[in-house]
Structure 1
Amino acid sequence: MQKPIATPSRTNEILQAHGFSFKKSLGQNFLIDHNILMRIVEATGMGENDGIIEIGPGIGALTEQFAQRVRRVEAFELDDRLLPILEETLAPYPNTTIHHQDILKVDLSSIIEERLTNVEKIAVVGNLPYYITTPIIMRLLEACLPVDRFVFMVQKEVGDRMKASPNTKDYGSLSIAVQYYAAATRVLTVPRTVFVPRPKVDSVVLSLNKRETPPVIVKDETFFFQVVRASFAQRRKTIRNNLQHNLLTDKEDQKRMEEAFQKCQIDPSRRGETLSMEEFAELSNALLE
């Protein structure tokens, strides 16, 4: 029986056989530690009757482990140079399909309807490139997909921001956006030494369990997130200044803003990182009255 792909020797053998060179622009870093890989598999909680959607399978290290354990795997790879490698490494697994598509452009609802109807639960997993981590996560969370859990490996600083609480340096609009849609749990920290090529920073694996209902009630989700983003536009500025310059720019808006601060008993000289999600919800609702 062959060694798992996620070992230094097997990864090196596959890359050399195909003359593969890493593209820095695609943020490619392949995991070469089988134990860490198995922790990621366990974090999904998926079994033999379930389905996996994988973002960026690389050379198939994580894909092969899921293919051995679940009913269906649908993986999305952008780099066409990896397709022949994946065809070879995943040849033993007829329950796995590789799609040569950009995950930001894929209609996942259709994929689920067409290819994952015979599974009980679905998880989305991926080692996400730094440069598109936030767009991918937000697109998936905002979509009404029948997905039970998201398990992502991201750069540590991004993971810290996603899990952050008010009054911390990492807390910001991403913290609120992620926590509005999901309960975030850190699974493990992944040192930079277990990747090829070795990245400059460590990573974390996060499990995001999608909420059935958001933790706050807002009148208008789009406006709520506009208020949140505007409040963090310049971290050193007060909420009043940020909202004045980035969202509520005319005199009527500013009058309404002062009334909303008063009604919510929020001091407008506070900074965005001191407001809880509940306070942001209350403020955005008051601004719509």
Structure 2
Amino acid sequence: MYQINALNPKDEGHHTRKRFGQNFLHDQQVIAKIVRAVSPRSGDHLIEIGPGLAALTAPLNAESEALTVIELDRDLAAGLPKRVPHPERLTIIEADALKYDFSQQFRENQPVRIVGNLPYNISTPLLFHLLEFGSHIKDMHFMLQKEVVERITAAPNSKEYGRLSVMIQYYCKATFLFEVPRGAFNPPPKVTSAVFRLEPYAEKPIVAQDERALSRLVGHVFTQRRKTLRNSLKGMLGEDAFEQTGIDPMARPETLAMADFVALSDHMVK
């Protein structure tokens, strides 16, 4: 495993920028564990979002034939070539990943693999932005605050299950991989982190007639999650929707499976 020595951002001549949500990973055991989870293979089209001080970039660069990184901080981007073992394999794109058109990276018969320690302050919109390109993405390995990862990967009938769980799992298989302690970063964040995997479906197990309607319905019921479906969907769906779908109108949203949400949203657009 390739080792790096970026233990302190200030030692590297870089001061963390709060507006970029910068917390730099330095724990070698955690880094190695992430690289093993990603498991770069020959011919992979690998993209890292937010390489920072190259804690993850360096070992990924060492184990892959080519690596593209997207970095918003110009100072960090400029320093990346000297922090990796094979700078000739590295392509650096200075851009905001939240606005970047990932279709520029698509290659025929070579799905993209994405990895990153995402800025927590933009994580949710960034995930949904990436899912717009899901048909060209093989998998994604990310680190976020643990409570968000628990919500993304939650199953029905749990307190973590909500809009994020349903909408991301509509597009992907979501897997919680492992927890990362605060001390693995410099500066340490205020929350515990976790690494997870998203695998976009080549063919979704369940397909909604109108995905925007599904998103509206799911968002609406989880803003009123203590209400029964009958009460929260009053004015949006009539009693016939529950009768025809076989869904209990007295149920609460956290008890519904993906198929139930899709059935109700399909009824909305009839």
TM-score strictly above 0.5: yes
3-state DSSP of counterpart to 1:41: helix
1:195-274 matched pairs, under 5 angstroms: 195-244=185-234, 248=235, 253=236, 256-274=237-255
* Distance in 2 between residues matched to 1:81 and 1:202, nearest whole Å: 27
Tell me which amino acid in the other structure corresponds to 2:121. Y
Partner of 1:4: 3
Asked whether the 8 Å contact 2:213–2:268 carries over to 1, the reply is no
1:155 matched to 2:154: no
User: Is 1:36 equivalent to 2:36 in the alignment?
Assistant: no
Alignment-mate amino acid for residue 39 of structure 2: G
Deviation at 1:181, TM superposition (A): 1.3
Alpha-carbon distance in structure 1 between the residues aligned to 2:224 and 2:261:
16
SS of match in other structure, 2:7: helix
| 1:169 counterpart SS class | coil
Deviation (angstroms), 1:57: 0.4
Q: Which residue number corresponds to residue 71 of structure 2?
A: 77
The structure number with the bigger radius of gyration is 1
- Deviation of 1:108 (Å): 0.9
Q: Quick one: percent identity of the two aligned structures? A: 39
Secondary structure in structure 2 of the residue aligned to 1:148: strand
Residue 232 of structure 1 aligns to a residue whose secondary structure is helix
Aligned to 2:122: 132
Matched with 2:11 is 16
CA contact (8 A) 2:62 2:86 kept: no
What is the TM-score normalised by the length of structure 1?
0.86
The structure 2 residue matched to 1:185, chosen from 162, 175, 188, is 175
The SS at the match of 1:215 is coil
Aligned equivalent of 1:49, options 2, 18, 43: 43
Does structure 1 conserve the Cα–Cα contact (< 8 Å) formed by 2:81 and 2:87? no
Structure 1 vs Structure 2 CA RMSD: 2.0
- The residue type paired with residue 185 of structure 2 is F
Contact 1:46-1:123 at 8 Å conserved across structures: no
Q: Does the 8 Å CA contact 1:224/1:284 hold for their aligned counterparts? A: yes
Equivalent residue in structure 1 for 2:156, among 148, 155, 166? 166
CA contact (8 A) 1:46 1:122 kept: no
Q: Given the two structures, how large is their TM-score scaled by the length of structure 2?
A: 0.92
What's the offset of the Cα at 1:241?
A: 3.2
- Which amino acid is 2:209 matched to? K
Deviation at 1:120, TM superposition (A): 4.7
Q: Which amino acid aligns with 1:15?
A: K
CA deviation string 1:249-278 (max 9, x = no partner)? xxxx5xx53221221222323221111111
- For residues 144 and 206 of structure 1, the distance between their equivalents in structure 2, rounded to whole angstroms, comes to 16
CA apart distance, 1:121:
4.9
Question: Aligned pair count?
Answer: 269
Counterpart residue identity of residue 160, structure 1:
E
Contact kept in structure 2, 1:49 and 1:121, CA below 8 Å:
no
Give, in angstroms, the shift of residue 207 of structure 1.
1.1
Kindly state the Cα deviation for residue 203 of structure 1 after the two structures are TM-superposed.
Answer: 0.8
Does the CA-based 8 Å contact 1:257-1:287 persist in structure 2? no
Q: Where do 5+ consecutive residues of structure 2 fail to align?
A: none
1:65 counterpart = 2:46: no
Aligned to 1:105: 99
Q: Give 3-state SS (helix, strand or coil) of 1:15's partner.
A: coil
Kindly provide the amino acid, as one letter, of the partner of residue 226 in structure 2: R
